[in-house]
A and B are shown apart, each in its own frame.
Chain A
Amino acid sequence: MFYWSLIIIVLGIYSAYIFGKSRIKSNAKQLDIKTVSLPTYYAQYMMVWCLLPALIVYFGWIIFENQIIQNLVLANFDFELNPTLNPGLLIAEIKNVASNISFAEGKSIEIFNAAEHYSSLKFTSTVAFYLSILIFMILGVMIASRKLQPTFRAQKSIENYIKYFLFFCSTVAVLTTVGIVFSLLFESLRFFSEVSIFEFLFGTKWYPYIPIREGQSGSQGSFGAIPIFAGTFLIMIVAMSVATPIGLFTAIYLSEYASPKIRSIVKPLLEILAGVPTIVYGFFAFVTVAPFVKTFGQSLGIDASPTSALAAGLVMGIMIIPFISSLSDDVINSVPQSLREGSLGVGANKAETIKKVILPAALPGIVGAFLLGVSRAIGETMIVVVAAGTAPNLTANPFENVTTVTVQIVIALIGDQEFDDPRTLSAFALGLVLFVITLILNIFALRIVKKYRERYE
């Protein structure tokens, strides 16, 4: 359907263009006046009015077609009489029968009839779709062609349409944020209607398995997210205690000590480190760092888990090093040269200048970089999914197995998703917490960095 409609629409707007151009030229000739805009703009005007109706029909169909057909087909089934029938499964079965994926043999006569009904509706809908695209395109052109007068400022209108389009492009970012907030809030509210928000935020037991049958053995599911938050925090602490010193010292070395040649070699290499996909770090953590941590723990007499907070945190720290170092490098470089000269001028050596003058001056920027690093560590997914555990242990021992917010989101959504099951919905509640925390960190950090930049501009 996509390719055929594409062809129809392209042909349509092409003929609208040709039509518009010849019509405006003949109109102008008849009245013997010059057009106020170039003929091309009138032709483009026709194109817009051919394209818009076609797009509206196309997207309208895509959004509503399935829903309407399904409702029409399912209207023949009485779900109150048959409480065991599941509409979702039923429609999938009907579709399979209709498209000959599964054989109709052994299926009830109702389903067979419904499949026929479905096929015929689908066929009608497809025919109607192409017809209405054509009709709407022609209607659009006909209505718009009344404007094809030499006195009509076609260029101005076209430019206004373009401006609307540009404006729409810039609102995509806003729409995305709205979409994120909407999807997270909506599913989270459903989650909190089944699990109390108080339990979620302050409960210490995470056991997201709700018994399928009444009275099944095993306890009731419980959704206390404290162990998850604690695990996230623990891994973040490990990561930042690796990334901050190495990143900061690298930045200091590169901006204050290193020769331009060394800089020009090291900086791109650090950029490579920053560009490595996080799943690669996950693999590295899994096959190299985790076994090392385990043997290291054993040599200390600690029984380390094969997927420890330490291994994941160390590798995550490595991932964040280039992030911290490049941000701090920018910040240190923007400390005015006059401060350096002032300090060196009274006889302080380089290290003292850096420690007593540059770092204090650059501190807000470095704090901002640190906060952005924290936000990354919290939101990082693949390293922890591969290298951290899944067990919600409430512990401060980095050799133990802990889990994080992102890991739990992935676990909840891999496999069967059922949007009436709190286990699936819990992913959205966790996502909401993640979004809010990282958002606060980012806004805070960006504000600090911005203030800092303004101070030295």
Chain B
Amino acid sequence: MLKNIENDMSNQYSHEKIIQLRKKRSAADRRFKTYGLIATLMGMAILFFLLFTIFSKGYSSFQKSVIELEVSYDQETLKITSDSTYEEQVKAKFFRVKKNAIAKALPDLSKKDIKLINKMFSINVDKEIKEYFLNNPNILNTTQKIFVTAHSDVDQLLKGNARRNIEEKKRKLNDRQLEFFDEFVSSGRLKTKFNNFFFKNADSRHPELAGIAGSFVGSLFTLMTVFLLAFPIGIGASIYLEEFAPKNKFTELIEVNIANLAAVPSIVFGLLGLGILLNVFGFPRSTPLVGGTVLALMTLPTIIIACRASLKAVPPSIKEGALAMGASKMQAVFHHQVPLALPGTLTGTIIGLAQALGETAPLIMIGMIAFIPNIPTGFTEPSAALPVQIYLWVESSERGFQEKTAAAIVMILIFLFLMNALAVFLRSKFERKW
């Protein structure tokens, strides 16, 4: 009797306990799922925050500030006549025209004011005045209203990147210059327009003149080197390993090497470039040729892995068919397997090239970090590369470069996106189901 009751009680107790436990367990289940969801959302949020930060900082760099100047192309000041040849026009004294124009930029400027106001213009102004004249030579002896590029400090203030309500000493522009600034703005002579310099200039010491054209071309030459080296070598290595390699220790060594090479830090490849390519083989420093060679070695494992996977995906019956026709093994491979494996390999190669495009550290090691103010024209000319350009601008203290950095990042991300889109497109277009 007693035992029964006890039994009953414990049953009841344990039943309640089980219900409680079950509640606890399902709460734990939900909690666990929530953790997973939170982690995933965090990853996404970070991605969007990252992209947002960069785009919001970078987009303003696609605009530049310009100030309207009244330029009088006076033939005495220029020291040319209407009969002057083009060469003479090119050598005309445009800096004097510029000086006059700036001195009259605002009414009633003292000598000190002129000095101050001069600092609000880019040093490129006389070139812009000259270019305007060379394009319209018949404006000699007339006065033209031209928008010329403003100094980066003005630019930053106009875009709201620099603050004006701080102590004068901490500002780039002093109180008097702010007065000029306000006058320009209120008269509508200071405005922003599309920043052509950002796309057509190479690097410069002056933020308002600095552009990505030089580093872009440098990156292009570098990537071409990577492609020309890594693509054939990668395919060759894959064919050998898939089709011809005997099963021995050396083949195993090659395989292990490729697997490990894929995980060697990029900076170590930079040291290889410096220690072997530059110091032993005497490659020219800072050039796309060395940069591309180093990055090609880095990209090789990616290409080999992709190419081998696509070679493996070609059904063996195709090769057998060719062999039974009396094709040699080499013919069977090159006539049938390689063409079929090419799209997959190309996809892998583009992904590898995209990695190479973003790689910075090895290029710094081999000296592509030098300040190069012109656009390279060949593989063996010193040049910059996009990611290194970004690094150089991050490291500069001037505020004007910070938005350049973000804008350059926007550009590199666009290129990466395009390359990956191309890879996805190739994959879906040529994907073959057997």
Contacts and interface: CB of A to CB of B under 8 A. Distances in A.
B39 A410 contact: no
Interface in B212-245: 232-237, 239-241, 244-245
A155 B326 CA distance: 13
Nearest to A375: B263
A311 interface: no
A273 B46 contact: yes
B39 A351 contact: no
B395 interface: yes
B339 interface: no
Interface string B340-365: 00000000000000110111110011
Interface stretch (A89-97, A116-124, A132-140, A426-434): A426-434
A203 B84 CA distance: 73
Interface string A153-184: 00100010011011111111110110110111
Interface string A235-265: 0000000000111111011101110000000
A414 B390 CA distance: 16
B380 A2 contact: yes
B391 A182 contact: no
A349 B284 CA distance: 64
Given A173-B237, A257-B37, 8 more contacts: A159-B328, A172-B237, A176-B272, A182-B276, A279-B387, A283-B406, A352-B29, A435-B268
A381 B53 contact: no
B43 to A, nearest CB: 5
Contacts of A276: 50, 358, 413, 416
Contact of B43 (A165, A180, A270): A270
B33 interface: yes
B328 A287 contact: no
B237 A170 contact: yes
A446 interface: yes
A163 B246 CA distance: 12
B236 A169 contact: yes
A250 B43 contact: yes
Interface stretch (A106-114, A192-200, A210-218, A317-325): A317-325
A280 B390 contact: yes
A351 B35 CA distance: 11
B28 interface: yes
A63 interface: yes
B361 A180 contact: no
Given A276-B358, A287-B53, A434-B268, A257 B275 contact: no
A439 to B, nearest CB: 6
Given A159-B330, A279-B360, A180 B233 contact: no
Interface in A66-80: 66-67
A162 B358 contact: no
B354 A275 contact: yes
Given A170-B240, A183-B276, A283 B40 contact: no
Contact of A174 (B236, B244, B253, B259): B253
A252 B244 CA distance: 41
A51 interface: no
A173 B300 contact: yes
A186 interface: yes
Interface in B310-343: 328-330
A180 B244 contact: no
A12 interface: no
For the complex of A and B, the 4 pairs showing the least CB-CB separation, nearest first, are A379-B265, A277-B358, A253-B36, A183-B275
Contacts of A281: 50
A231 B110 CA distance: 56
For chain A, the bracket of interface size reads: 35 or more
A254 B357 CA distance: 30
A251 to B, nearest CB: 9
24 contacts: A63-B282, A159-B330, A162-B330, A173-B258, A253-B40, A257-B33, A269-B43, A273-B43, A275-B355, A275-B358, A279-B409, A280-B390, A280-B413, A351-B32, A378-B265, A379-B266, A381-B266, A382-B391, A385-B391, A409-B365, A434-B265, A435-B268, A442-B263, A446-B259
A419 interface: yes
Question: Could you say which of B39, B57, B364 has the most chain A C-beta atoms within 10 Å of its C-beta?
Answer: B39
B78 interface: no
A63 B282 CA distance: 7
B125 interface: no
Question: Could you say which of A167, A248, A428 has the most chain B C-beta atoms within 10 Å of its C-beta?
Answer: A167
A280 B240 CA distance: 38
Contacts of A58: none
Contact of A287 (B36, B57, B232): B57
A272 B43 CA distance: 11
B54 A428 contact: no
Nearest to A270: B43
B32 A355 contact: yes
B260 A266 contact: no
Contact of B281 (A63, A177, A321, A439): A63
Interface string A410-431: 1001100101000000011001
Contact of A258 (B40, B274, B354, B391): B40
Chain A interface, >50% SS class: helix
Nearest to B229: A172
A170 B267 contact: no
Contacts of A254: 36, 40
Nearest to B283: A62
B402 A173 contact: no
A391 interface: no
Interface in B27-49: 28-29, 31-33, 35-40, 42-44, 46-47
A155 B328 contact: yes
A177 B39 contact: no
A452 B32 CA distance: 25
Given A174-B254, A382-B391, A419 B279 contact: yes
A286 interface: yes
A131 B359 CA distance: 41
B140 interface: no
Given A2-B380, A277-B416, A283-B390, A409 B47 contact: no
Contacts of B402: 287
Nearest to B236: A169
A386 B236 CA distance: 38
A363 to B, nearest CB: 17
Contacts of B330: 159, 162-163
Interface in A308-322: 318, 321-322
A171 B254 contact: yes
A414 B369 contact: yes
B288 to A, nearest CB: 13
A279 B29 contact: no
B72 interface: no
A246 to B, nearest CB: 5
Contact of A269 (B29, B33, B44, B258): B44
B114 to A, nearest CB: 36
B394 interface: yes
Interface string B4-43: 0000000000000000000001101101110111111011
B46 A318 contact: yes
B141 interface: no
A207 interface: no
A91 to B, nearest CB: 13
Contacts of B361: 381-382, 385, 406, 410
B123 interface: no
B394 to A, nearest CB: 5
B297 A176 contact: yes
B240 A169 contact: yes
A257 B38 CA distance: 12
Contacts of B81: none
